[in-house]
Amino acid sequence: MFERIERVPGDAILGLIEAFKKDTNPQKVDLGVGVYRDDNGNTPVMRAVKEAETRLLKSETTKTYIGSHGAPAYGDAVLPLVLGADSPVLEADRASATQSPGGTGALRLAADFIAKQLPGKGIWVSDPTWPNHHGIFTAAGIELHKYPYVDADNRLDFDGMLAAIKKIPDGDVVVLHACCHNPTGFDLSAEQWQTVLDVVRERNLLPLIDFAYQGFGQGLDEDAYGVRLFAEQLDEVIITSSCSKNFGIYCERTGCLIAVAKDAEQKDNIRSQFAIVARENYSNPPAHGSAIVSEILHDAELSAMWRDELTEMRDRVNTLRRDFVEALKPYGLDKKYACVGEQRGMFSYTGLTPDQVERLRDEFGIYMVRSGRANVAGFSQQNLPYLARAIAVVND
């Protein structure tokens, strides 16, 4: 039977990693992979995480299953982080947390829940979006549709987005990125969130907010603006949160599926369904990452340390964004690439064309995905002059 199985091409990003490794150019720059990098190109373990792990090693007494919803202490820590410490939603007992293997796991749980419990509902994602959204929702058997997000001049196409959302059939699901939109870096303003909320309410849509980069845009609370607005103003919201980026625990697979419902009873009903989809997928989530996160968030000293480190990462990325635009000034290209300074998060739709991306790779050893999406954390004070010169050459 295996004879008929065809080989499929690998992930484009993995191909890029391989090509980068083989490149012998001493000035080569990797702007492809979606992880944070420091100025030396490393993705280090955060100090607060190391300290939490040291404490856990001493205090851990068992490795028994932690249950389909994961560790209660983790859920208790993540809910106020996402919804706000004094959230009226938490006060009203309208939200529940189910631990998941990363944000990806939370999205898959949400997808299975929608496919099973809301049969026939379509799902709408931004064009472009994180490519795995397509894979996850389609794998669950949900019909996928797109709404526009970026215009031909590489700007947020809010009018196009809104016009499309206004036509989404009643009761369908709309996926929104809470902050640090991947791949573009274009986020909604407070006013735009409110406008989308009005349409979501009018069309009776179910918002699914993907929150993979809390703290990487403007701040832990600032980045949660849309999430909190929706949770407080609407009866029903699904949120998928990830600790991969903001705790730097990518490989520990730590995320959370949050249901916000009209009241405590409906919340508990949904929660019981989440346990079933979790059980059917993997039974119980892995324990270590969530133990790290709750150790940090339940301890004032570790929390302060973690917040400082996260601020450092965020400031670094935002400074590099500004410095990138500044480095292009001598070439008269600062206006053309001003968007990089305005976008938020790890990723930027630079506006570089596929041809330019190819030339940057072949002539300069600068690697990014064909769409022109760059990982800003791959910039550094050392490589910015080189990047700027290379971009000037491919713009000639």
Mind telling me the catalytic residues? 130, 210, 245
As measured in angstroms, the least distance from the Cβ of 293 to ligand PMP is 12
- Cα→Cα distances 9→13, 16, 64, 130, Å: 11, 13, 39, 18
Single-letter residue type at 11: D
CB 285 within 8 A of CB 70: yes
CB 119 within 8 A of CB 165: no
CB 75 within 8 A of CB 68: no
If the CB atoms of residues 213 and 364 are measured against ligand PMP, the closer one turns out to be 213
As measured in angstroms, the least distance from the Cβ of 101 to ligand PMP is 7
Q: Which residues contact 379 (CB under 8 A, 6 or more apart)?
A: 31, 320, 323, 324, 387
If the CB atoms of residues 69 and 373 are measured against ligand PMP, the closer one turns out to be 373
**Nearest in space to 241 (alpha carbons), one of 231, 319, 122:** 231
- Cα→Cα distances 55→44, 49, 58, 294, Å: 19, 10, 5, 12
First to last CA, the chain: 54
As measured in angstroms, the least distance from the Cβ of 177 to ligand PMP is 6
As measured in angstroms, the least distance from the Cβ of 285 to ligand PMP is 12
**Nearest in space to 383 (alpha carbons), one of 327, 314, 341:** 327
If the CB atoms of residues 103 and 248 are measured against ligand PMP, the closer one turns out to be 103
If the CB atoms of residues 90 and 176 are measured against ligand PMP, the closer one turns out to be 176
Question: What tokens were used for 193?
Answer: 């969130």
Taking the C-alpha atoms of 269, 117, 126 and 38 in order, what is their torsion angle to the nearest 10 degrees? 50
As measured in angstroms, the least distance from the Cβ of 241 to ligand PMP is 9
Query: Can you give the binding site for ligand PMP, defined by CB under 6 A?
Result: 34, 102-104, 130, 177, 182, 210, 212, 242, 244, 250, 255
Closest CB to ligand PMP: residue number = 102
As measured in angstroms, the least distance from the Cβ of 78 to ligand PMP is 13
If the CB atoms of residues 104 and 290 are measured against ligand PMP, the closer one turns out to be 104
CB 230 within 8 A of CB 195: no
If the CB atoms of residues 74 and 130 are measured against ligand PMP, the closer one turns out to be 130
